[in-house]
Amino acid sequence: MKRPTLFKSAAILSAAILLAKISGFAREVVLAAFFGAGTVSDAFILAFSIPDILLVLVSASVAGGYIPMYYRVEEKVKFTRNIMTCLLIAGFVFSIVFTIFPGALVRLFAFRIEPETFETASFFLRYMVWTAVFMLLADVFGARLEIEGSFFANGMRSLWRNVVVIAGIILGAVTGFDIWIAVAPAAGTAIGTIVLAAACKRHGFTYKPYLDLRSPALQQLSVLAGPIFLSSAATQLNIIIARNFAATIGAGSVSHLYYAAKITFLFTLLMGTVFSVVLFPRMSKMAADGDTDTLKATLAQGVVYIFALMLPVSIGVFILAAPGVRILLYRGAFTAEDTLITAGALQMYAPILVAASITPLLLRAFHAMQNTKSPAAAGVISVAASVVFNFLFVSPMGVAGLALSGSISGIILVCLLFALLRKKIGSTGIKTYSDELAKIIFAAGAMGVVVYFAANALPLMYTTSSWYGLLLIFVPIAGGIFVYGGLLLALQSNIAHEVVRRVRRKGGG
């Protein structure tokens, strides 16, 4: 992909995701304000997250196999409709089964949950599982749009669900009827799917039922999907395992870990996942054409840009965790103690930001080459490491220990992926950027010092107004950006100068 196209596409997708995730944060703020960190919030988080965690794995499996195969099949429309019909059937079966037996899924995700929380979560999940029907269709609509180079509608799709869920939480809290909370996710997901279908229609694709279980392309996709599922499951399985450990600590612990993880993965989604989504269709075409050299160059460039974006963010999150959580969540039923516990977990998640942002790009490089077994093996090792570290850290550190375990296992995963990728294609070309990486590390370290002293000079933990807190926390953030960018320019960083050139070009300078 030409660099202007990459930057433009990444900017469009980042803007869409930012809007969607702002609505997601609004959802968390509303939940925390009305229900704090207790039985109802734990139950909602478990029930809301279970379909997401399971279906994100299916989504990754489908997209990871569908997009590379799209460039290899002749009847592309039939291929796409066949996949969608299979997923629609699977979504209905999944929803019907777990409408009848929701407790089975709740036990799987939190086997030592308290009885009251279990009952509430089971009630919520009975309705929330119906997101599966719409979400699985939306996954293919979204992948089809990515192939067309259209990213905005797909990046925005969670916005519709978040808006409806916020309304459901408020109605449930005000009226006392939890059914509003329970049905909102499926209703919002349905709206988002309709929006994606309309966007695909503008690009010339409409879904019509078509089923051919004997299709060679479908069978090949099924073979690819299993290992992709395993490799993509590492992060989600680590979340499941951590929540099970959190449920043993006490009421509210699941919520503390959840809020910290949501803040963490907002940054990885905005900064890191964007590049993997934008580059994946192009890398798939390069792999299909046998253009390995260009694929390697594209991958190396993507890794360096992600590193340049995420290293300063990781440092900033670690330093500003406590005031950040206070500003975002400290209100209503969310107490000062909840704030400190969540902030401690967020600090322990900070080290994973770089690794978790690079991992999707590495996984998709493997998937583009239809090599799915190597990343699956790395994912299994990562999950095993997570279990070990959870046992080691949960007793002495509590929720923060579970977050630290997630960071360590995430770093292990990205190291394994780099090693396996190098074995597969030889040198990745990242060494050619060694001078650039050194400049980034130096500038980010200096930025961290400035942010630390600026944050400690301000009364960030003593403000009673969220808006005043936002204004105050902007000071160290702005100072950090100024120092980081200024040092990169002074050190003649290619990335910094490229950004300046593009800004001047857009401004007509």
Q: pLDDT for 410-427, tens place per residue?
A: 899 999 999 998 888 888
Residue 450 CA: distances (Å) to CA of 22, 163, 453? 27, 37, 5
Whole-number average pLDDT of the chain = 84
pLDDT for residue 440: 94
pLDDT for residue 3: 41
Confidence band for 298, pLDDT divided at 50, 70 and 90: confident
pLDDT for residue 123: 92
Residues of the chain above pLDDT 70, percent: 90
For tokens 């994100």, the residue is 56
Confidence band for 448, pLDDT divided at 50, 70 and 90: very high
The widest CA-to-CA distance across the chain, in whole angstroms, is 67
Model pTM score: 0.70
Span 47-76, average pLDDT: 78
Confidence band for 370, pLDDT divided at 50, 70 and 90: confident
pLDDT for residue 162: 92
Span 151-158, average pLDDT: 83
Residues of the chain above pLDDT 90, percent: 27
Q: How far apart are CA 295 and CA 302, in angstroms?
A: 11
Residue 176 has pLDDT above 70, yes or no: yes
Residue 248 has pLDDT above 90, yes or no: no
Residue 106 CA: distances (Å) to CA of 34, 49, 125, 179, 186? 23, 10, 8, 18, 18
Confidence band for 509, pLDDT divided at 50, 70 and 90: very low
Confidence band for 211, pLDDT divided at 50, 70 and 90: very high
* Both structure tokens of 448: 């961290």
- 15 versus 341: the higher-pLDDT residue is 341
For tokens 């493997």, the residue is 366
Residue 270 CA: distances (Å) to CA of 29, 130, 265, 342, 495? 19, 27, 8, 21, 18
pLDDT for residue 5: 55
Q: How far apart are CA 341 and CA 329, in angstroms?
A: 12
Confidence band for 241, pLDDT divided at 50, 70 and 90: confident
Of 116, 41, 82, 93, nearest to 210 by C-alpha is 82
φ/ψ region of 49 (left if φ > 0, alpha if ψ in -120 to 50, else beta) reads: alpha
| 181-205 core/surface letters (b: 16 or more CB in 10 A; e: else) | bbbbbbbbbbebbebbbebbeeeeb
Residue 144 has pLDDT above 80, yes or no: yes
- 469 versus 434: the higher-pLDDT residue is 434
Q: What angle do CA 197, 201, 202 make, to 5 degrees?
A: 120
Confidence band for 430, pLDDT divided at 50, 70 and 90: confident
Confidence band for 187, pLDDT divided at 50, 70 and 90: very high
Span 472-485, average pLDDT: 91
* Both structure tokens of 382: 């990562």
Q: Which of 80-84, 479-483, 502-506 has the lowest mean pLDDT?
A: 502-506
Span 139-158, average pLDDT: 84
Span 359-383, average pLDDT: 82
Span 7-11, average pLDDT: 67
CB 87 within 8 A of CB 139: yes
pLDDT for residue 505: 66
pLDDT for residue 507: 53
Residue 2 has pLDDT above 60, yes or no: no
pLDDT for residue 60: 65
Residue 500 has pLDDT above 80, yes or no: no
Residue 455 has pLDDT above 50, yes or no: yes
Residue 428 has pLDDT above 60, yes or no: yes
Q: How far apart are CA 159 and CA 164, in angstroms?
A: 9
Confidence band for 168, pLDDT divided at 50, 70 and 90: very high
Q: How far apart are CA 325 and CA 329, in angstroms?
A: 6
**CB within 8 Å of 296: residues ≥ 6 apart:** 425, 427, 428, 429
For tokens 């929701």, the residue is 102
Residue 25 has pLDDT above 60, yes or no: yes
